[in-house]
Structure formats: C-alpha cells, structure tokens
Amino acid sequence: MSAVDQEVAAIRGEEKSKGGLSYEVILAEPVSDRPPSPLTVSTPTRPQPSEEEIERKLLAAKERREANRSINDVDEKISKAVEKRQELVSTFVTKTKENLDAKMEESQEKREAHLSSLKTKLKEHLERVETIRLTNETKLQEIRQQIDEKLKSADEKRDEIIKQLQEKLRLHEEHIKSVKQSSEEKTKAMEEQIHSKIQLAAEKRDEIEKEMLEKLKEQDRRGELARQKKENRLSGGGQCEEGETASSG
C-alpha cells in the first residue's frame, strides 16, 4: 500500500470476547476521477546484468575474436602454402615438359642422324654391289669372248675349256648370289635395328608421360586433401562460435 493510501485509510479496532481483536480496514474514496498518470504506473523492468556477467561476456567475445583472428591467420598461411605449392607444381611441370621435349628432340635428332648414317652406308653398300655386278658382267662378257676365240682357235680343247669356263661361271654366279644374299641380310638387320630403336624410344616416351600424369594426380590429390582440411577447420570454427553465442545469450 502506497503513502497516499496510508493517509486516507482509517483503521478501526474492536475488542472481541475472550481477548480477541478484529481489525477492519476502510479505504477512502478516490480524490478525483482523473486516471492515474502513466509515470505512476509500475512497469516490469529487465534485471540489469551483474558486473561479473558483463566481464564474462566481454571475455568470451575477446576469446571469439582471438579465435577468429587465429583461424584467419591459419587460413592465410594455408592459402599462401597452397599458392606456393601450385607455383612449384606449375614450375616443375613446365621444366619437366621442357626437359622432356628437349630430350625427345635430341633423341629424334640422334635417331634421324643415325638413320641417315645407316641409309648412307646402305646406299654406299648397294653402290659397291652394283659396281661389282657391272664389273662381273664385264668380266663375264670378256670371258665369253675369250671362250668364243678359244673355240675358234682350238676345237680340240673346246670341250675341256668349256667345262672349265662353265665351272668358273657357276662359281662366279654363286659368288654374286652370296653377295646379294649377304646384302639383303644386312639390309634386313639394319631395318630391324632401326624399328627396334624407334619402338624403344616410343615406349620410353609413353613411360615418361605416364610418370608425369601420376605425379600430377598425386599433386591434385594432396591439394584436394588440404582444401578439405581447410573446410573442416572452418566448419568446426563456425560451430564453436555459434555454441558460445548461444550460451552467452
């Protein structure tokens, strides 16, 4: 009851039997018909936070800021590390490709030079064989002429001379056949050697390209793992901050 109510209230006491007392409170009539001022109406007020609670919230906010700053620093370091690794990978791939191209070009030049040398030797060999063949044909023609002359000059020795000359012709033809066969075998061996070297060079190139692809895949896999770790760290940091905000509220 307010001070005004106490002033306008009348208290009357009556003595009852057996020493008991009965009190009756009579409230006075309102002073005026004017409604009470809004200032006098009591409104519920929100309880003010204590100093300890304020300090606790400030400390929690400071810790969240430090945690966010630490996460940002870690993210920046991770981003710089990823960029540096990507630069290194790009430089490594570029240099490796350049070295591989240079080696392949050098190998191609050597292979072409070797093929050119083999072709030159083969050409010279065929020219020598052709020269021998022409020389042999000339000699054969001369022998035939000698046979004709001897046949004309000595009929009695004709059969024997013919046999001797036929044997020489046979031996000569066998020699030509042997030279020709040897030339063909050398040519075939050279062609097989050239084909084998070309095939080995192609296999080596495929193997180098395969190793490069495996290294690039490994670099991509590591980059993906780093990205996933970064996302997991960021996701974990966000959940931690939401939990602290909910607890402080």
Segment 108-133, tens digit of pLDDT: 888 889 888 988 989 899 998 999 98
Greater model confidence, 19 or 223: 223
Amino acid sitting at position 111: R
Would you state the pLDDT for residue 29? 53
Would you state the pLDDT for residue 150? 74
Q: What percentage of residues in the chain have a pLDDT greater than 70?
A: 74
Task: Please check whether residue 230 is in contact with residue 60, taking contact to mean a CB–CB distance below 8 angstroms.
Answer: no
Q: What are 69's two structure tokens?
A: 């700053």
What's the Cα-to-Cα distance from 108 to each of 101, 176, 199, 208, rounded to whole Å?
10, 37, 12, 16
For 207-227, what is the mean pLDDT? 88
Would you state the pLDDT for residue 153? 74
Would you state the pLDDT for residue 180? 84
For 232-249, what is the mean pLDDT? 58
Closest CA to 189 of 128, 118, 116: 118
Q: Answer yes or no: is pLDDT of 85 > 50.
A: yes
Task: Please check whether residue 220 is in contact with residue 82, taking contact to mean a CB–CB distance below 8 angstroms.
Answer: no
Which of 8-12, 41-45, 98-102 has the least mean pLDDT?
8-12
For 33-46, what is the mean pLDDT? 52
Helix ranges, the chain (H): 3-8, 51-153, 158-248
* 8-state DSSP, 2: -
For 88-105, what is the mean pLDDT? 87
Q: Answer yes or no: is pLDDT of 138 > 50.
A: yes
For the ranges 142-151, 213-222, 230-239, the one whose mean pLDDT is highest: 213-222
Residue 71: band (very low, low, confident or very high) from pLDDT cuts 50, 70, 90? confident
Q: Answer yes or no: is pLDDT of 248 > 50.
A: no
Residue 166: band (very low, low, confident or very high) from pLDDT cuts 50, 70, 90? confident
Q: Give the Cα separation of 83 and 230 in Å (integer).
A: 14
Would you state the pLDDT for residue 43? 52
- For residue 14, the SS3 value is strand
Q: What are 78's two structure tokens?
A: 């991770």
Residue 17: band (very low, low, confident or very high) from pLDDT cuts 50, 70, 90? very low
Compute the C-alpha angle 159/162/164, nearest 5°.
110
Residue 36: band (very low, low, confident or very high) from pLDDT cuts 50, 70, 90? low
Amino acid sitting at position 147: I
Q: What are 166's two structure tokens?
A: 């036929």
Mean model confidence pLDDT for the chain: 76
- For residue 79, the SS3 value is helix
Task: Please check whether residue 129 is in contact with residue 184, taking contact to mean a CB–CB distance below 8 angstroms.
Answer: no
Q: Buried b vs exposed e over 107-139: b needs ≥16 C-beta within 10 Å?
A: eeeeeeeeeeeeeeeeeeeeeeeeeeeeebeee
For 161-185, what is the mean pLDDT? 86
Q: Buried b vs exposed e over 68-79: b needs ≥16 C-beta within 10 Å?
A: eeebeeeeeeee
